[in-house]
Amino acid sequence: MNDIRADRILYSYTHNKPVIKHVSINIRSKGITALVGDNGSGKTTLGKLLAGILKPDSGQVWIDGLASQNMTLSDVGQRIGYLFQNPRKHIVATSVREQLLVAHELLEKDPKEGEANAQALLHLFQLEHKAQASPYTLSHGELKRLALASILFSKPDFLILDEPTAGLDHTRMIQLSNYLMKVHQKGIGMVLISHNWAFVKKHADRIVTLEEGKIVHDTQSEN
């Protein structure tokens, strides 16, 4: 996977009220970039633009060398795992186990391999005892873990995680940290959108600060 590049992107939800204002940024595919800033500064919006979920009104986002405007969600999904701030947005199945297997089954891949992968992720995220439960009966922390597990199931090349530690207790946050370190050692880069400063300091090799839709600080430009 090549870098993700945004070139003077502008984005508005409502006409003439841009929330991302001519942002340019180059994100190295193997690095860990944190996106920080106050509530409403545009972190989630920029994350979705970098993930190809939203398309810029002007300017361009390049994902793995391709212009995001020309990419379908499936093109993007094969490269980038995107964690929504609200984990409920990930839920498409009626049980935890099915939630992990659904994409695999749609692609008609080897069921044994899918089962093994699902089992490993359920174990890792401590959801084995909930395998048959409806996702809608899970706590927020469990849902967040399930959402992460379902993204990691398809082994993406890059991760964009919006508030991954929200709703996790201290122990589970440490477990998530350890897991992300393992994932990173495999060469998977990520963008972490987070208000959790300790988590950001621990993982990020670069910190980008947004304010009112603009990048106002980037630790990379200090080097």
Q: Give the residues lining the site for ligand ATP (CB under 6 A).
A: 13-14, 19, 37, 39-45, 85
Query: Which is nearer to ligand ATP, 44 or 196 (by Cβ)?
Result: 44
Q: What's the rounded Cα separation, in Å, for the pair 85 and 67? A: 25
Q: Nearest distance from residue 94's CB to ligand ATP, in Å?
A: 28
Q: Residue 193: name the closest of 167, 162, 159, 168 by CA.
A: 162
Query: Which is nearer to ligand ATP, 44 or 150 (by Cβ)?
Result: 44
Neighbours of 154 (CB within 10 A): 14
Query: Which is nearer to ligand ATP, 13 or 136 (by Cβ)?
Result: 13
Query: Which is nearer to Mg ion, 44 or 150 (by Cβ)?
Result: 44
Residue 52 contacts which entry, ligand ATP, Mg ion, none (Cβ below 5-8 A, type-dependent): none
Site for Mg ion in 61-80 (CB under 5 A): none
Q: What's the rounded Cα separation, in Å, for the pair 47 and 33? A: 11
Burial of 178 (0-12, 13-18, 19+ CB in 10 A): exposed
Residue 39 contacts which entry, ligand ATP, Mg ion, none (Cβ below 5-8 A, type-dependent): ligand ATP
Q: What's the rounded Cα separation, in Å, for the pair 87 and 148? A: 9
Residue 156 contacts which entry, Mg ion, ligand ATP, none (Cβ below 5-8 A, type-dependent): none
Among 4, 25, 41, 44, indicate the residue that binds Mg ion (CB under 5 A). Answer: 44
Q: What's the rounded Cα separation, in Å, for the pair 52 and 139? A: 29
